[in-house]
Amino acid sequence: MPTKNLAGTPVDTNDEGYLVNRSQWNKDVAAALAAEEGITLTDGHWKVLDFIDADFKEKGAVPGMRRMNKVGNIPTKDLYALFPDGPIKKAAKISGYPKPVSCV
């Protein structure tokens, strides 16, 4: 399991770069993870990350696109603008949660 240094914090990740231990996550780690994706976090990004965090704590899963729209009030268009190429996967990674499993 790779360990790397993000924003001065050692974190454990899986091979795809997702954190395996969310207790190692903080806002600076998020900014560093975002930077790896070429993203500078703004309030718009944080609205998404905060929703994922709250929803994960409630449901135990990273919310899908439709849930982001309907429950989080975040339009798909905005998600693609904020996190280009696979917004859910990228936002999940930056928020320190696992890669969403593809539905069956």
Partner 1 sequence: MKNLIILGAGTAGTIMASHLRKKLAKSDWTITMVDRATHHDYQPGYLFMPFGIYSADDVRRPMKRTVPHGIDFRETDVDRIDAEANRVLLPDGTALPYDVLIIATGVHPAPDQVEGMVNGDWRKNVHEFYTFEGAQALAGRLKSWQGGKLVVHICEMPIKCPVAPLEFCFLADAWLQKQGLRDKTEIIYVTPMSGAFTKPVASGILGKLLDEKRISVVHDFAIARVDAEKKAIVSWDEKEVSYDLLVTVPPNMGAEMIERSGLGDELNYVPTDKHTLQSKAHPNIFVIGDATDCPTSKAGSVAHFEAEVLTENILHFIAGEPLRSRFDGHANCFIESGHGKAFLLDFNYDQEPVTGTFPLPAVGPMKLLGESRLNHLGKMAFKWIYWNVLLPGLPIPFIGHQMSRLGKNIPPQDLKTAA
What residues are labeled active site?
A: 103
Piece of 5-13, 28-36, 77-85, 90-98 that binds partner 1 (CB under 8 A): 77-85
* Residues in Cβ contact with 103 at an 8 Å cutoff, skipping those fewer than 6 apart: 64
| Three-state DSSP state, 18 | coil
Piece of 12-20, 27-35, 38-46, 69-77 that binds partner 1 (CB under 8 A): 69-77
Q: What is the dihedral of CA 100, 30, 47, 79, to 10 degrees?
A: -50
Using CB under 8 A as the criterion, which residues of the chain lie in contact with partner 1 when the complex forms? Answer: 64-67, 69-71, 76-77, 79-80, 84-86, 101-104
